[in-house]
Structure 1
Amino acid sequence: MAASTDSNSNISASIAGILNEKHCAEHVQALKTFTAALRDKEYRDTVEEEAFSSLFKVLSRLCDELQSATGDDGDLQSSALQLQLTAECFRAQRNACVQSTRNQCLLRELGFIDVSLKLLSFLQARNSESRDGIFEPLRCGIQFLGNLAVGNQMCKDDIWRMSFPDLLLQLLRVDDEKVVNYSSMVLHTCLDETKVEELSEPQNIQLALRVMDLCRNQPDLDWTVLIATQHFLNSSTLVEKMYSGMSHHERVTLLELLFAQLREEDSEQCSIPPSVAQFLASSFQKCCGAVLTLATGSASSDEVLQEALTVISLLDVLCEMTSDHKQFMFLQEHPDLLVTTVELLEQVHAIGKASKNIFSSAQNFSSFSGDEDSSSHSPVISFKAHLIRLIGNLCHSNTNNQNKVRELEGIPLILDNCNIDSNNPFISQWAIFAIRNLLEHNTQNQELVASLERRGTADYSALKELGFLVEERDGSLLLKPVRKDS
């Protein structure tokens, strides 16, 4: 124990000695010794407060020196040693906080958060100068904040109060992947429900949009994806504000993350609020007509194309929400969502039949062989199939919607899509699924199908999979239940 105490005292003395001397390489080594010692849990748990107090004074001195050495027009070419010492101070602080609430609280009380953030703000503002020397202390300083915040609410709140939103946004814009990744980690660690709502304010929304931009352009940064899926998507206010401020490119990214989250989460415990589903349904209804521009070639600009792709992504999300998530089945009653979907299917189907275009049925399956570049695939692949899927979902065990589709003459329309179509893989299966939901416990719909004259090339025999047999008699179709023993 005596030896350990002596070592502790020696390290503390060597750090204190830095304050009374001109900076030199030996000071870097003294800090490295402290950093290495802090990797040991036993030392970390017993390190003297005096050592941290001296380290704080060293860091504060470095902050003053760096700021006075550069001025408004100066650079950091002559401050290489100070930058190296700053990085080593941050490393020591980072190591001190690992699994140590004691040290986290001690560093917070000594004022490390304020001076560290001042240094980070100064460094990021000069990240275009002496890049190699800047990035090392930037990275280490941000790692320190991350370790300081883990499991410590007071530290989280202080970091947030002193860095939100401007410094966090600036750090996420630094041209260094590690700086951005570590900054995302700090943001993720600090976030909670209240802080997410703060992001919804007009003056703060740019920070949320920057996170989403990183999700789109740097998808390998796991922390930004976690921020979006674990925090942003759980706030209907933030989702609506972000969506309104996004380009169509960015909206597609948001919708893709929503879709992935719906796939991953338990259908009984999905964290996405119902109000998000309402907002997306209304957005789909407002802009769904944009997809029709793809048939005429009027989608000449990238912006128009991206708006159409946004509609396609909205449809995918709505299909997923109404598939196996009971909390979103209220969408069956969403005003005119079913009507909009049936009418859009009717338009798409009619356009595809009128002339050869992007919505026309095809029998070209070579594009699915894996030999062709995926970029050559049509942007509306499966769009018509997913419209039918959404109709089927909205009619599941819902008599009013079953009747509404019949009144809109949607049943023959769906039956006319029971054929194989390479532009809409599995469309016949989705058509069968939709017809099943339309006929279930609905005598009027069953009678309608039984009395229909054959239209187009609809494959009514596929209904046998649903427990019904369709027979043609005197030019009409009769629907009969399939006997269990048949």
Structure 2
Amino acid sequence: MDNSVAMGDTTFLERPISEDTLQLLFQASNSSNLENSLEILIQNAKSDSGRLELASKRILPAVLNIVQSLALASYHHHHHHNNQTLSLCFKLLRNLCAGEAANQASFIELNGLAIVWNVLRSDAGSSGPDHGLVRWGLQVLANVSLGGKQHQRAIWEELYPIGFASLARVGTKETCDPLCMVIYTCCDGNPECFRQLSSDDGWPVMAEIVRTASSASFGEDWLKLLLSRIFLEESQLPVLFPKLQFVDVPEGEVIDSKYDQFSFEQAFLLQILSEILKERLGDVTVSKDVALFVFEIFKKSIGILEHAMRGNSGLPSGFTGVDVLGYSLTILRDICAQDGIRGNTEDANDVVDVLLSYGLIELLLSLLGALEPPAVIRKGLIQIKNQDSASCYSKPCPYKGFRRDMVALIGNCVYRRKHAQDEIRDRNGILLLLQQCVTDEDNPFLREWGIWSVRNMLEGNDENQKVVAELEIQGSADVPEINALGLRVEVDQRTRRAKLVNIPSCEKSL
């Protein structure tokens, strides 16, 4: 009969944890309740000295035992309230492994990876994953991964690619950030892993991460480090970008590919890469392949101008096609700024020269010419009868700043590049560029960028200066901006040729 009483005692089932393990925790925390005890130890493990002391008391093996017992209990009896205890265990493991080599090492030796992954796998795969639990479990792995190459290899072997993909599918900002940290840290110590992530096996992991970050956003820089490394530094953009087009399309569905639609994920990826280049202009190198591929994206995205409305905001505009156009343009702008910063204009593999040889300037001038004039000029034009017929050919800026970004890109291309400066002249682009030196409500800072680009176009180029001087004499380039450059037109009395000369500084203020 006693037997039945024991069978009815469910506390044993809920807590199949060995008495020794519990006693060890109770003593270390001076408490007699498991949750309480874990909370106290989590606080103690926040300091270096606390971690060291708990390492000597062998707390980490005890916690791993508890996780294993609770996971078994949950598995057999679906005790969901075990999640709270598991979460506390994960937080404690996370703190214990924060920069404490002894704990990091024993975590790996005691098979902590398999134990933690076991819990994460069943939770991430469930219909309603506990985001907190997954986040803290990932933070444990993140801290362990900082322990060194062996730790990183062990994590990679356990989780790549299936585990990473299923964790990425949990799909929240809270879980995506630590996941990116784990993946980046593992790869950073073992660079061949970056190449694996770009392979067919690894690609689903990256696709899920991009999809999650695009829909749920992200909070930390790990995502940027990861995307920067794979898409820019490892030059995988041309390989992986096309695969993002149909991330959300169900298997076997036929896609009507009318004018090269782009996916939300593709636009988001370009936005992030554009931010990365802006923030790290000096230290991310972009290969010719990547630069030319972005130029291809830009050329495809121009189709949007056929039916784009005037944009009432800058980037991101909220329209996928417009964002792809804008971000591919700003990426090109910053790629072309990099060469100037590095001063490697003598290099035969100069990325800008490669882009120029593929017709970048010609394209930009034709786009700039097809835009309606800036608002200032638009309002100044007298309504002439036949003006309506002319205006149907001119297109509005699809986002605020489109014109400015093109002008900035031209300015970067002609910076100390004689052949690029000459190309502007040969394509009759000088007057067009001078007309960009105005303020424009659709393009913040257009005037500053215009003046800067004109200065770059004129610097050290006598032929271009001569053209500007002629235009000014004819009155077609009535541009006070030339004065703003510190230049003025003077006509040589003898030859009647105009030339630009520097204004002595005492006159500049007038």
Counterpart AA for 2:399 = V
Equivalent residue in structure 1 for 2:56, among 14, 38, 46: 46
Residue 105 (1) aligns with residue 91 (2)? no
The match for 1:67 is 75
Distance verdict in 2 for CA 1:81–1:38, change over 3 Å = same
| Cα offsets for 1:58-84 (capped at 9, x unmatched) | 443443443344xxxxxx3xx135444
The match for 2:217 is 219
Residue 251 (1) aligns with residue 266 (2)? yes
Q: Following superposition of structure 1 onto structure 2, how do residues 376-455 of structure 1 map, counting pairs within 5 Å?
A: 379-452=398-471
Residue 160 (1) aligns with residue 175 (2)? no
Distance (Å, rounded) in 2 between the aligned partners of 1:145 and 1:61:
20
Q: Following superposition of structure 1 onto structure 2, how do residues 321-340 of structure 1 map, counting pairs within 5 Å?
A: 321-323=335-337, 325-326=341-342, 330-336=350-356, 339-340=359-360
Segment drifting more, 318-327 vs 102-111? 318-327
Identity of aligned residues (%): 20
Equivalent residue in structure 1 for 2:193, among 186, 192, 195: 195
Residue 260 (1) aligns with residue 275 (2)? yes
Q: Given the two structures, how large is their TM-score scaled by the length of structure 1?
A: 0.74
Structure 2: runs of 5 or more not aligned? 1-16, 25-31, 246-261, 311-316, 381-395
Q: Residue 113 of structure 1: CA displacement?
A: 0.8
Segment drifting more, 140-149 vs 390-399? 140-149
**1:409 aligns to what SS in structure 2?**
coil
The match for 2:145 is 149
Structure 1: runs of 5 or more not aligned? 1-10, 19-24, 70-75, 298-302, 365-376
The match for 1:183 is 179
Do the aligned partners of 1:143 and 1:182 also contact (CA within 8 Å) in 2?
yes
Q: Residue 327 of structure 1: CA displacement?
A: 6.7
Q: Residue 437 of structure 1: CA displacement?
A: 2.2
Distance (Å, rounded) in 2 between the aligned partners of 1:308 and 1:59:
50
Equivalent residue in structure 2 for 1:319, among 323, 333, 336: 333
**1:481 aligns to what SS in structure 2?**
strand
Distance verdict in 2 for CA 1:455–1:194, change over 3 Å = farther
Segment drifting more, 401-410 vs 306-315? 306-315
Distance (Å, rounded) in 1 between the aligned partners of 2:144 and 2:474:
69
Q: Residue 359 of structure 1: CA displacement?
A: 9.1
The match for 2:296 is 283
Q: Residue 200 of structure 1: CA displacement?
A: 0.7
Do the aligned partners of 1:332 and 1:338 also contact (CA within 8 Å) in 2?
no
Distance verdict in 2 for CA 1:67–1:418, change over 3 Å = same
Paired positions, count = 432
Q: Given the two structures, how large is their TM-score scaled by the length of structure 2?
A: 0.71
Do the aligned partners of 2:60 and 2:103 also contact (CA within 8 Å) in 1?
no
**2:352 aligns to what SS in structure 1?**
helix
Equivalent residue in structure 1 for 2:284, among 271, 295, 314: 271
Segment drifting more, 393-402 vs 136-145? 136-145
Q: Following superposition of structure 1 onto structure 2, how do residues 109-148 of structure 1 map, counting pairs within 5 Å?
A: 109-128=109-128, 134-135=130-131, 137-148=133-144
**What's the C-alpha RMSD, in Å, of the aligned pairs?**
3.9
Counterpart AA for 1:138 = V
Counterpart AA for 2:331 = V
Segment drifting more, 224-233 vs 116-125? 224-233
Segment drifting more, 101-110 vs 216-225? 216-225
Distance (Å, rounded) in 2 between the aligned partners of 1:81 and 1:436:
69
Q: Following superposition of structure 1 onto structure 2, how do residues 453-472 of structure 1 map, counting pairs within 5 Å?
A: 458-470=477-489
Q: Residue 384 of structure 1: CA displacement?
A: 2.2
